[in-house]
Amino acid sequence: MKDIGYYNGASGPIDTMTIPMNDRVVYFGDGVYDATYAVNHIIFALEDHIDRFYRSCAKMEIPFAMDKAELRGVLQGLVDKVEDSASLMVYWQTTRGTGTRNHAFPPKDVRPNLLVTVRPNPLRAIDKRYKLITIEDTRFLHCDVKTLNLIPSVMASQRAKESGCDEAVFHRGDLVTECAHSNVHIIQGGTFRTAPLTNLILPGTARGHLLKLAQMSGIPTREEAFTLRELMEADEVIVSSAGTLCNAACEIDGKPVGGKAPKLLKALQGAAVRHFEDYTKSSFERYAS
């Protein structure tokens, strides 16, 4: 198969798969998700993503019954069925189940649904420079949960696209939180800085990797909120996600940024690429675009 979809045990090409109208995702977006990449049929940082998925389930009180080993097996089995061993996006979500529309939770005998898709999707080349815009963060106060309610991020991503940009940086007042579908960090005065893990940002797996890689590379780190002014004046601005390991920004709101700590940036990018290649036993550059 060139791609594959899965829903509660049934699988097939993605464009042939369907879900029930009464799945609670349709009415309420009542579910959580996670996603990562597979290269060479090896799913990158799968344990990190699975752990975050189960944390999201717990915070949303979704009684996802499948244990971690079984979920790993389902995901790996689907990846193995896709013929191409190039870069594949592995996405999965669970919803609270299927039942007549009602805001309150369905009866306890209603089981959560599991949907998975695996499809070709290239990684972002590490030397790709991002153009960003800033947008006031009007999302709710549970941004640490990887919920399916993503309308603010959808709208922000559309504004970025209309502006000829790659991502939108959220801020609450003067404090930067994260991007529409990435985390954002800065290098300032030789230190790698990123917002602390609170309910206002998603605990990104790439964010966690970068913190560890910076420390291993001898780069000091600080998990501390920074302002819009600090963002604009930073030596480097970095965007990270599962498919964007460590990409620098060159512009925010039409103004040039970064470019003042190229050696530190290159060291961190090199560490991120080596980590990915060691894990997947493959060449990052081969699958990037």
β-pairing, 113-120 with 130-136? unpaired
Residue 36 φ/ψ region, left for φ over 0, alpha for ψ in the -120 to 50 degree band, beta for the rest = beta
Q: Which helix (H) or strand (E) holds 240?
A: strand 236-240
The rounded distance, in Å, linking the Cα atoms of 268 and 250 is 17
DSSP assigned state of 111: P
How far is CA 20 from each of CA 12, 67, 117, 150, rounded to the nearest angstrom? 16, 24, 17, 21
Q: Return the C-alpha torsion angle 49, 284, 245, 168, nearest 10.
A: -110
Among 146, 212, 263, 266, the active-site one is: 146
Neighbouring residues of 51: CB distance < 8 A, sequence distance ≥ 6? none
- Per the CB < 8 A criterion, the answer to whether 184 and 244 are in contact is no
Residue 43 in 3-state DSSP?
Answer: strand
Q: Which residue type is seen at 38?
A: A
- Per the CB < 8 A criterion, the answer to whether 80 and 88 are in contact is no
- Per the CB < 8 A criterion, the answer to whether 62 and 97 are in contact is no
- Cβ neighbours of 97 (radius 10 Å): 23
Residue 194 in 3-state DSSP?
Answer: strand
- Cβ neighbours of 131 (radius 10 Å): 17
Active-site annotation holds for 281: no
Active site residues: 146
